[in-house]
């Protein structure tokens, strides 16, 4: 079938992207779903730093690639091996499919699926190969989703069904920002009642971490960012205290556990320095491969510290997304507050500029 999508043609294009236009909205051919695959009509797709990191070259991926990994839509058709989904259902996309059989999948989300990671690196679907074509040549999938298009074919393990009462923009944001940000608290840091959790870097993922942590019983939530506007927004999402990184250093602010959600070395150093003895420092951002940090290994030993990497919020999407939906229904997760702007697909390059300038929390393309 013929579809329209935003294809990344060039990595490392000059800014502003609204002028250089590394993403081209073009027509493509989409194959029908294979045995264990699903055809989805897109309804909403969020812009995330994991998209921007491919555009600016911090995460090298094969091109041409149809970007977008945080998305939601309606099932239109299923392969012969898919028995638990039907046309018309709303589904949330998840950007790391789990095979359910490898050593990573046996860790209850703590370690990424090796098969899903390998297929993502190749720009393929979990079952192998590509379903996107243009001018007779293949177009790579982004993280098994390629959500910046009006339709997508994805592996069954890349989607989680949700009920119709979950609006499409909310459903889309659940699949990355909330799954990643929420999971760093629920699955990786795991603060106990009476403890505190600091979140350093208040973009979409960081704000989601604040929001989900604020829904935990008796956990004090601390937001850290250089932007006063974001600090105020974090307060509105439930943060009990907010500081700039300089204030954290000057005042000696600490927390039982600290999360780095900015994807840069200085944010990690801030989070590590602010972690109390016995606490966990969780890094969830995706910095440049060349980024380096300086920490004292003595502190890790002498203070019984732990450093944890958390990819996709150490989540099992089929388990965690329904839990976030439940909290949203109960009014404890105001996910709508994460969505700061709505875009047309044609404006995706402008959206990347806004994302690079940290001018928005979550921009959502509506189809």
pLDDT of 325-357, one tens digit each? 999 999 999 999 999 999 999 999 999 999 999
Read off the pLDDT of each residue in 211-226 and give the average, rounded to a whole number.
96
The percentage of the chain sitting over the pLDDT mark of 90, rounded to a whole number, equals 96
Question: Could you tell me the maximum CA-CA distance found in the chain, to the nearest angstrom?
Answer: 61
Task: Flag whether pLDDT at 80 surpasses 90.
Answer: yes
Predicted local confidence at residue 308, as pLDDT = 96
Task: Flag whether pLDDT at 60 surpasses 90.
Answer: no
Read off the pLDDT of each residue in 133-142 and give the average, rounded to a whole number.
96
pTM given for the model: 0.95
Mean pLDDT, all residues of the chain: 96
CA distances from 250 to 221, 224, 241, 246 (A): 19, 13, 15, 6
Q: At 105, is the pLDDT very low, low, confident or very high (cuts 50, 70, 90)? A: very high
Read off the pLDDT of each residue in 294-301 and give the average, rounded to a whole number.
94
Predicted local confidence at residue 288, as pLDDT = 85
Predicted local confidence at residue 324, as pLDDT = 97
Q: How many Cβ atoms from other residues are within 10 Å of residue 317's Cβ?
A: 25
Predicted local confidence at residue 305, as pLDDT = 97
Predicted local confidence at residue 109, as pLDDT = 94
Whether the bond into 313 is cis, omega within 30 of 0: no
Predicted local confidence at residue 52, as pLDDT = 95
Read off the pLDDT of each residue in 72-88 and give the average, rounded to a whole number.
98
What three-state secondary structure class fits 150? Answer: coil
Cβ density class 103-123: b for 16+ within 10 Å, e for less: ebbeeebbbbbebbbebbeeb
Read off the pLDDT of each residue in 266-272 and give the average, rounded to a whole number.
97
pLDDT of 175-196, one tens digit each? 999 999 999 999 999 999 999 9
Nearest to 285 by CA among 187, 203, 170: 203
Domains detected in the chain = 2-164+334-366 (3.90.180.10), 181-311 (3.40.50.720)
Task: Flag whether pLDDT at 286 surpasses 90.
Answer: no
């Amino acid at each position: 079938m013929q579809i329209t999508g935003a294809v990344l043609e060039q990595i490392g294009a000059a800014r502003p992207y609204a002028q250089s236009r590394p993403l081209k909205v073009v027509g493509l051919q989409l194959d029908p779903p294979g045995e264990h695959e699903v055809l989805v009509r897109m309804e909403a797709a969020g812009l995330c730093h994991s998209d921007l990191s491919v555009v600016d070259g911090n995460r090298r991926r094969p091109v041409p690639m149809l970007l977008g990994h945080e998305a939601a839509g309606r099932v239109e058709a299923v392969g012969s091996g898919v028995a638990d989904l039907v046309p018309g259902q709303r589904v949330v996309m998840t950007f790391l499919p789990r095979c359910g059989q490898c050593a990573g999948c046996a860790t209850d989300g703590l370690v990424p699926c090796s098969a899903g990671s390998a297929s993502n690196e190749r720009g393929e679907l979990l079952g192998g190969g590509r379903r996107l074509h243009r001018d007779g040549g293949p177009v790579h999938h982004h993280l098994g989703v390629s959500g910046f298009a009006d339709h997508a074919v994805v592996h069954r393990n890349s989607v989680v069904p949700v009920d119709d009462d979950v609006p499409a923009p909310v459903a889309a944001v659940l699949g990355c920002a909330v799954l990643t940000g929420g999971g760093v608290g629920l699955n990786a840091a795991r603060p106990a009642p009476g403890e505190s959790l600091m979140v350093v870097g208040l973009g979409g993922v960081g704000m989601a971490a604040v929001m989900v942590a604020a829904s935990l019983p008796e956990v004090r939530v601390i937001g850290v960012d250089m932007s006063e506007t974001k600090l105020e927004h974090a307060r509105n999402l439930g943060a009990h205290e907010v500081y700039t990184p300089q204030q954290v250093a000057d005042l000696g602010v600490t927390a039982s556990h600290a999360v780095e959600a900015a994807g840069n070395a200085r944010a990690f150093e801030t989070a590590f320095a602010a972690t109390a003895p016995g606490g966990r420092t969780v890094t969830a951002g995706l910095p440049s491969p060349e980024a380096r940090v300086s920490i004292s290994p003595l502190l890790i030993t002498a203070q019984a510290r732990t450093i944890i990497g958390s990819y996709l919020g150490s989540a099992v999407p089929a388990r965690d997304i329904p839990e976030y939906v439940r909290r949203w229904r109960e009014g404890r997760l105001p996910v709508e507050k994460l969505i700061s702007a709505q875009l047309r697909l044609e404006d995706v390059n402008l959206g990347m500029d806004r994302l690079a300038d940290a001018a928005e929390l979550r921009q959502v393309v509506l189809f």
